[in-house]
Structures are given as structure tokens and as C-alpha cells.
Structure 1
Amino acid sequence: MVNYRPTKAIIDLAAIEKNLEVFKKQAGKAEVIAVVKADAYGHGVVEVSQRAIASGIRFLAVATPDEALFLRKQGIDTRLLVLGATPEAFIPVAQQEEITLAAISLAWLEMASKAANPKLRPLKIHLKIDSGMRRVGVFPEDTEQAINFIRQNHFSFDGLFTHFATADEESGALFQQQVKEMRAVIASVSDPSVMIHVSNSAAAIMHPDLAYDGVRIGISLYGIAPSAYVENQMAIGLTPAMSLETEIVHVKKVKAGEALSYGATYRAKEDEWIATLPIGYADGMLRGLQGQEVLVRGMRMPVVGRICMDQCMVKLTEEFPIGEKVTLIGKQGNEQIRMEEWAEKLDTIPYEVPCILTKRVPRIYC
């Protein structure tokens, strides 16, 4: 497909492979589960999944049944876990497609037992334990009841897992409580065929002793640290996989005192060269990024005026030609703009940044 607009997200699949190798080494004998939910955090689920599998990954995780089924339809036949809730209608589909589902409550297990087709292979189950996140999962004290129910019905009990709420924070009270809860649960499961996985990216980085049988690597698969605290503490190196680029499509000199864009929120303090870029909030460059800098010839230059749906304006240091490359996220010369910088500007977390880039921005793979 030809893309006539110069705005694009460039995905470095070699960087993703490099990050996978880092976590394989970090995890030791534990298996690395590549989390590719939300279109692989905006990086492109098919391409990322294919590269992960080519790199030796044998287990992927997604958030929804639709994401799992999409991967199956794209020819991805490796082990596949749905981390979130799954409705009744999907149970026989999961059996047919060999998709593993998270058992998120006793009520869900009862529903799934009735929905499962006894003529198909047993439904693959990973039992989710709510050790403190309070999102989904069986309470630790109900683990034995849940396991007994699984073993008495048309299920295959393949795994047990939890999710840490504060593994990326310095304060460790809740994290330590969750670890304590899970150690007690794990001690009660004597079946070595049941895969135990409790670590997300942050826990895999900060607490390699909790690797057990597997670690789920999500945000850090894409070269992004789970938090500033983890980044400052971690002993491993991550390589960002996404950069965002466009080109100047229009340049004009604005006179001192003239206003720019909607609401006239910016006025030129002197005669200024202003460039228009073909990217706006419909692409994921939200209005809150007004004032954020971009890179032109390795120099930082600010976005001025309100960001429009499809375009935004940048104050240049001098006149630059139409077609000049502009980097919004990534490296140019000796400068770099990281997703963390956008996140700070938007008062959010880096996870959100690649996910808000819309489908209108083509992903180009290298």
C-alpha cells in the first residue's frame, strides 16, 4: 500500500528481538510470554507476533478473545492466552482454536463448564488469582475449590497466575503482600504440569527470583521501562522499538503579534518561521502536546498554537524546505525524544503513548 502522507511510525523489529533476548537471559529457565495485547501496544500485533515466534517465543498473551481469534485467523498457531474476561459464547470457539482462557472467578468456571462442548478437546485454563489487584481473579482462599472444580470438569488445568499492582513502585508493602499470598497458593499446587507465572515486566526486571515457570513481558518488550523508578534501578538495557516521523509540508513567516491556530492561544513574539506538519490529534498527537518539542536537523523546536485534528505548527529557528524530515519520537542527530517525554507532557504513563497512535498512522517495519 502506498502512503502519500509522510507521517509514519517506524517499528524496529530487531529492537523487539533484542529486548526478547534480554528477558530470556534475565528469566533463566523460565519461559518468556510475549504480551501482544492492544495491537502489540500499538506496534502491530501480526508483525510483532511473527518476529517473536521467529525469535523462539512459544507463548503469546492478549487481553480479549477477539484479539486471540484474530491471531489465529492470521495463521499464528502458537500457544495463546487470553488474560481478560471471556464470554460464554467464546468457550467452544476457544476449544476449537486451542486458545487458553483465564478463569477469573468461581462463577466464570461454572459458566464455562456448562458452555464447554464435551465433544471437543478440553478447554485450556489458566487460573487467575486475585492476590491484591482487585480487578479479576479468584481470591487465594478459594483456590482449592477452584482447582477441584477445574479437575472435575471438561477443562485442562494448564496454568496459574496473578498480576502485581505495584511491582514498578519503590514502596513495596502491597507488592510484598501479594508475593506472600502467591507463595502460599503456589505451595498448595503440587502438580508440576501447571505453569506458574506471576511476573509482569516490572517484576521480571526487579525480582528475577519470582520467575517461576514463566514471565509475562508487555511494555518492556517494546523497549519501554515500566516506570521511572524501574528504569533508574534496572541493570538491563532496553531498546525502544518505535519512532514517529513526518515532514514539513508548509512554511511561512509569521509577523510579530500575529496569532496561530484555533483559539489564538499563541502569538509570535517576533517575526517567526512557522512550519506546518501533517499530524494532529486524530493521529494520536493530542492537544495536550502543545509546547512539546520535535526534532529538525537534530535541533529541538516547539509545537506552537493548538494542535488541530490533522495538522500542527512548529516554530523553526530558520526557514527550512518543504519535505524536511521531522522526528516527533525517536533519535535525530545527538538528540532524542522518548515516549516518556510525551507521557510527562500529557501527565500519563508511557504505556499510553504508543496505544494512542491511531490506525491512520501507518506502521513501517524495518
Structure 2
Amino acid sequence: MKPSTHRPTQAIINLAAIQANIENFKKYTGNHTNIWAVVKANGYGHGANDVAQSANDLVSGFCVSNLDEAIELRSHGIVKPILVLSGIVPEDIHIAVNLRIAVTVPSLDWLKLVVQHLEDVETEHLKYHIKVDSGMGRIGVTTAREANEIIALADQSGMVFDGIFTHFATADEVAQEKFESQWTKFESIVSDLSRRPQYVHSSNSAAGIWHKETIQDIERLGDAMYGLNPSGQTLEMTYEITPALELKSELTHIKTIEKGATVGYGAAFVAEKPTIVGTVPIGYADGWTRDMTGFYVLVNGKKCPIIGRISMDQMTIALNETLPIGTKVTLIGQDGDEKITVDDIAVHRGTINYEVVCLLSDRIKRIYING
């Protein structure tokens, strides 16, 4: 999808904030580990390529969710190590080799399928990380035996055992029992490996922030790099972060409706009094979901409620005064003394800040600034 460059709805990304967030994490942890920037899902909605270029000199590598995301980074000049965090289609293994992209081995069965496609493949350039399911329940091995069988089969094929990792389910929560159980299981499997790879890693943003003693060879820095608290409002940040994204638009239409008039699909909003209504060009096709009705935006530093059902491309707000077309509207960010954060929106939706920014579609033009 091409960005709608001729529409006033824009996400403004502060690359300097992302760089500062990386630097502050390094200071917090003592700068004793390799930082790999997680830029999956279009850089958590911030724009993977621009974020990667900005972070490139501050990190040792990058993590993505699938092969296509890795291909995109390579096509934009990223040459540092890239790890795909989930298993790729086995038939595509030659692409990973040709582009020097490290793959995740989620199971012995998956690796057996890959081996069938290694003819004419330079396997000395095929680096892999074994995924351990220590309690997340998605992908990964659950025993050291299976991990060692993977190592043995990969050795026969000339592959390079580059890493082993896991992912914590509750690192961002108050209760510690599940986290400690996963940590113990992962450590047990690693200790029983036939040999240790270059990288052992388990730490995502949440683990790095609230369990920094468990950081190993790689810190996979995601949510916090973008200035977002991985726990939302459950746990307080342990160092300073700066949100990198603002979402802005403009009023494209203003009118006054009489008492009893309706607004939007289903005539869900009925005016209880004469109401000044402004139209803003953003809707659920942009990731501004229908459940945002009842929330608010900022106009001239004042809160203005969202009224009526949000449409695919537009939404309506109740204004405090008649204003000209082109008046700025803040959906995420600061306006005067008022501020709307991604967490504010997440609380309203009953979700997490990750989902709010990841849902911002490519139709929204990204504007990049430094500072």
C-alpha cells in the first residue's frame, strides 16, 4: 500500500528519540551486551527501514519476524546480521543463504525439511539459532535432546550453529513465578547442549528492563527502543525513554448540527444540543479502530471527543468552537498542556501499546525528524 502523501494525516517519527532510547538502555545495563534492534512489523509501525538506518551504528544486528522483512532490510543497504525470529518456508532457505540472513530452527522436523533443499547451497553461510519453548507455547524445542539432534543434523549439512534463544511470557508482569520457571528451563537446556553457540539470548525489552541480570549475549530491544513501556502502566520504567511517534491530522470539514441530528453509520450519535462537528481524515483502514469512538483528540490544546462511528477513512469530533479548515488535530502527542500517549489509547481499547502502533497502516505517511 502506498502512503497517502496528499492527505494531512501523518505519523511523525523522531529518529533522535529512538537513538537516545538505545543509548539510555546501554547506560542502564552497563553496555555489556550486543544490542539487536527488533524492527519487525514495519518497525512497530514506525517504519522499519528508516529506523534500521538510524539505529545501525548503535546496534550489532537486527531481528525481524519473517524472511520478507529481512529481504527488505538487505535491499535498503543493511549489512549487519539479521535474525528471522520464526521458521521460514523450507523451500526458501537458499534466499536466506544468499542474503546472509540467520534463520530460526523451531524444531527437528522443520530442519529435516530444510535439509531436503540444501543441494547447491553454500551451507557454510547458513547461520541458525535454535528456538527453545521454555513456556511460551508457540514454537521451539522443549528438550536438550531435540536441540542436540538439531545440532548433529545441521553439522552433517555444514550449517553454522550461531545461537540459541527463548522468549519470556511474563517478563513485563509483577508475578515472577512463570518468568523464573522459564529462565530455569532455558538455562537447563543450554547447559546440556553438546556445545555452546556464539550467542545465547533470552532477553527482550521487558526482560532487559526488569530482569537485567538475565541478559546474556544479545539483548533484543523492541518496544522500549520506540519509547514505549513494555508493561504499559503495570510496571514503572527503570530508566528514561522518549516516545518516538506522534500522530497528527487536520480538520477537513466543519459544520454545526441541530439538536436531534445524527452523525455516522447507524446514526449512533444523536446530538443532545446544537453541536459543532469537525471531520478528520483517518479511519479504521488506517488502524484507527472503531472502538476509538468515545475517546478524544486534541485541537488547539483542548480535548475534543470522538463522536459517531468511525468510518473506514474518516471520523468526526465535537469541537469547542467553530474553526477553519486545516486546523491541526493531535491524535497521539502533545498539544499545549494536554497530551495523548499510546498507552492512553491502549487503555481505552483494552489492549497493549504494541498493538496500537503496529496497527497504524502504511496508508499513513511517515515523516522523519531528528530531534
Which segment is superposed worse, 81-90 or 182-191?
Answer: 182-191
Q: Which of 27, 31, 35 is matched with 1:32 structurally?
A: 35
Give the match for residue 190 of structure 2: 186
How is 1:17-166 mapped onto 2 (pairs within 5 angstroms)? 17-27=19-29, 28-54=31-57, 56-117=58-119, 119-122=121-124, 123-141=126-144, 142-166=146-170
**C-alpha distance in structure 1 between counterparts of 2:187 and 2:218, whole Å:** 15
Q: Which of 218, 221, 225 is matched with 2:225 structurally?
A: 221
Structure 1 2/338 Cα, relative in aligned 2: closer, same or farther at 3 Å? closer
- Where do 5+ consecutive residues of structure 1 fail to align? none
Shift of 1:154: 1.6
**C-alpha distance in structure 2 between counterparts of 1:25 and 1:173, whole Å:** 28
Is the 8 Å Cα contact of residues 260 and 266 (structure 1) preserved in structure 2? yes
**C-alpha distance in structure 2 between counterparts of 1:192 and 1:85, whole Å:** 21
Shift of 1:85: 1.4
Give the match for residue 348 of structure 2: 345
Which segment is superposed worse, 143-152 or 97-106?
Answer: 143-152
Structure 1 62/2 Cα, relative in aligned 2: closer, same or farther at 3 Å? closer
Is the 8 Å Cα contact of residues 199 and 215 (structure 1) preserved in structure 2? yes
Is the 8 Å Cα contact of residues 233 and 343 (structure 2) preserved in structure 1? no
Q: Which of 294, 297, 300 is matched with 1:294 structurally?
A: 297
Identity of aligned residues (%): 41
How is 1:316-331 mapped onto 2 (pairs within 5 angstroms)? 316-331=319-334
Q: Which of 247, 250, 254 is matched with 2:250 structurally?
A: 247
3-state secondary structure, aligned to 1:228: coil
Residues 249-297 of structure 1: CA deviation (Å, up to 9, x unaligned):
1111111221111111112221121111111111111111001110011
Residues 132-161 of structure 1: CA deviation (Å, up to 9, x unaligned):
111111113323332333333321011110
- Where do 5+ consecutive residues of structure 2 fail to align? none
3-state secondary structure, aligned to 1:145: helix
Partner amino acid, structure 1, of 2:242: T
3-state secondary structure, aligned to 2:358: helix
Is the 8 Å Cα contact of residues 92 and 117 (structure 1) preserved in structure 2? no
1:268 and 2:271 correspond: yes
3-state secondary structure, aligned to 1:238: coil
Number of equivalent positions: 364
Q: Which of 225, 238, 242 is matched with 2:241 structurally?
A: 238
Partner amino acid, structure 2, of 1:305: G
Structure 1 2/230 Cα, relative in aligned 2: closer, same or farther at 3 Å? closer
Structure 1 2/113 Cα, relative in aligned 2: closer, same or farther at 3 Å? closer
TM, length-normalised to structure 1: 0.95
3-state secondary structure, aligned to 1:199: coil
3-state secondary structure, aligned to 2:305: strand
**C-alpha distance in structure 1 between counterparts of 2:285 and 2:141, whole Å:** 39
3-state secondary structure, aligned to 1:19: helix
Partner amino acid, structure 2, of 1:291: G
Which segment is superposed worse, 181-190 or 161-170?
Answer: 181-190
3-state secondary structure, aligned to 1:75: coil
**C-alpha distance in structure 1 between counterparts of 2:140 and 2:28, whole Å:** 27
Partner amino acid, structure 2, of 1:154: G
RMSD of aligned C-alpha atoms? 1.7
Shift of 1:110: 1.8
**C-alpha distance in structure 1 between counterparts of 2:60 and 2:119, whole Å:** 26
Structure 1 230/78 Cα, relative in aligned 2: closer, same or farther at 3 Å? farther
Shift of 1:192: 5.9
Q: Which of 206, 209, 217 is matched with 1:205 structurally?
A: 209
**C-alpha distance in structure 1 between counterparts of 2:327 and 2:292, whole Å:** 21
Structure 1 325/134 Cα, relative in aligned 2: closer, same or farther at 3 Å? same
**C-alpha distance in structure 1 between counterparts of 2:49 and 2:121, whole Å:** 31
Shift of 1:228: 3.0
3-state secondary structure, aligned to 2:323: coil
Which segment is superposed worse, 149-158 or 309-318?
Answer: 149-158
**C-alpha distance in structure 1 between counterparts of 2:363 and 2:4, whole Å:** 13
Residues 205-224 of structure 1: CA deviation (Å, up to 9, x unaligned):
00011111111111111111
1:5 and 2:7 correspond: yes
Shift of 1:96: 1.1
Residues 339-359 of structure 1: CA deviation (Å, up to 9, x unaligned):
112112222211111111111
Is the 8 Å Cα contact of residues 169 and 229 (structure 1) preserved in structure 2? no
Is the 8 Å Cα contact of residues 107 and 140 (structure 2) preserved in structure 1? yes
**C-alpha distance in structure 2 between counterparts of 1:337 and 1:33, whole Å:** 29
3-state secondary structure, aligned to 2:88: coil
